[in-house]
Chain A
Amino acid sequence: MNLNELHAKLVKVARKNPPTDRVPYAFEKRIMSRLASPAPANDWALWGRPLWRAAVSCVAITILCGVWSMATARPVESTTESFSQDLEAAVFAPLNTSVEDAW
């Protein structure tokens, strides 16, 4: 069976039998009454606006905190060498303390 032929036959049938354009009685009245009634409350929409405002405020506060933090930060004085010494001291501090306590 040639599938193209079957396809063509099915399309021919579909064309010969278009769907009806019958309209249920007074359907336009139904639509008009639906348009006239108030839209149902959308809970998400009710929350949406205040949440968006809160989000904008939070972003603004975050930016301000970041700017203030950067403005008031002390300049870094230690060089790479002193940094490594500081790191070593910090890492071994618990060891030194515990050894002294033991003795």
Chain B
Amino acid sequence: MEPTDAELIAAVLNGDSASFEPLIKKYQPRVFATARRYARRESEVEDIVQEVFIKAFRKLPGFRGDAPFEHWLMRLAVRTCYDFLRGHQRNRETAFSELTEPETDWLERVVVQPGDEAENAEAARQLVDKILSRLSPPARMVITLLEIEDRTVKEIAVLTGWSVALVKVRAFRARAEMRKILKSITKEKYL
């Protein structure tokens, strides 16, 4: 029978570092998926995930066990991703001219015929990535958690460590920022 998370954590805290490896194996897919929402390059994703688990190992004595280990780990992951976004703010600006032809085609189809389900999901996905990368770190974090992952305001507050009021304020500003970016993209192209 496989040991539980609590047993593995207790073993690590008793000095058996090797017991941390099963925890990494169990949760690394989820942490990778989270990191890929905020970083494009695979090398950056790996750095983020590595940092999450190293922080988790070092902060393990502070894990009280009130909530499942997964929740605690995901909080750490989200905050590490946020720190990454803040540290890479300079790479944010993407000129409209950098959109590829498939992305431009997808956008054109959506703008001209909004009712149509535009094809080329890959181009759409890349366009979404590029637009999200133009958002400020808090805006990107809130849009990703609130609208794309469909989390509640309370869940976001717990994950990020922000107050509920701050999450709401940031959500409002994030939508305004997103609107501004979309306006600039459509205006440049279609006016």
Is B20 within 8 A of A32, CB to CB?
A: yes
Is B50 within 8 A of A21, CB to CB?
A: no
B183 / chain A contacts, CB cutoff of 8 Å? 3
Is A3 within 8 A of B182, CB to CB?
A: yes
Is B20 within 8 A of A27, CB to CB?
A: no
Is B147 within 8 A of A20, CB to CB?
A: no
CA distance A19 to B186 in the complex (A): 26
Given A21-B32, A31-B54, A6:B21 Cβ within 8 A: no
CA distance A28 to B33 in the complex (A): 15
B178 / chain A contacts, CB cutoff of 8 Å? 7
CA distance A32 to B50 in the complex (A): 10
CA distance A34 to B29 in the complex (A): 19
Is B124 within 8 A of A13, CB to CB?
A: yes
Chain B residue at minimal CB-CB distance from A15: B148
A74 within 8 A of B: no
Is B148 within 8 A of A20, CB to CB?
A: no
Is B131 within 8 A of A27, CB to CB?
A: no
Partner of B25, one of A2, A22, A28: A28
Is A20 within 8 A of B110, CB to CB?
A: no
Chain B residue at minimal CB-CB distance from A31: B53
A5 within 8 A of B: yes
B25 / chain A contacts, CB cutoff of 8 Å? 28
Given A7-B178, A11-B147, A23:B121 Cβ within 8 A: no
Partner of B33, one of A7, A14, A20, A36: A20
B153-191 contact mask (Cβ, 8 Å, vs A): 1 or 0? 000000000000000000000010011001100100010
Chain A residue at minimal CB-CB distance from B29: A21
A22-50 contact mask (Cβ, 8 Å, vs B): 1 or 0? 11100111111011100000000000000
A19 / chain B contacts, CB cutoff of 8 Å? 33, 36-37
Given A7-B182, A24-B46, A35-B57, A13:B121 Cβ within 8 A: yes
CA distance A11 to B127 in the complex (A): 11
Is B186 within 8 A of A17, CB to CB?
A: no
A53 within 8 A of B: no
Is A14 within 8 A of B125, CB to CB?
A: yes
Is B110 within 8 A of A7, CB to CB?
A: no
B190 / chain A contacts, CB cutoff of 8 Å? 1
Query: Which residues of B are in contact with A by a Cβ distance under 8 Å?
Result: 17-18, 20-21, 24-25, 28-30, 32-33, 36-37, 46, 49-50, 53-54, 57, 110-111, 114, 118, 121, 124-125, 127-128, 131-132, 147-148, 150, 175, 178-179, 182-183, 186, 190
29 A–B contacts from the bound complex (CB under 8 Å): A1-B190, A2-B114, A5-B114, A6-B114, A7-B179, A9-B114, A9-B118, A10-B127, A10-B128, A13-B125, A14-B125, A14-B128, A14-B147, A15-B148, A15-B150, A16-B121, A17-B128, A18-B33, A21-B29, A27-B24, A27-B49, A28-B24, A30-B50, A31-B53, A32-B21, A32-B24, A34-B50, A34-B54, A35-B17
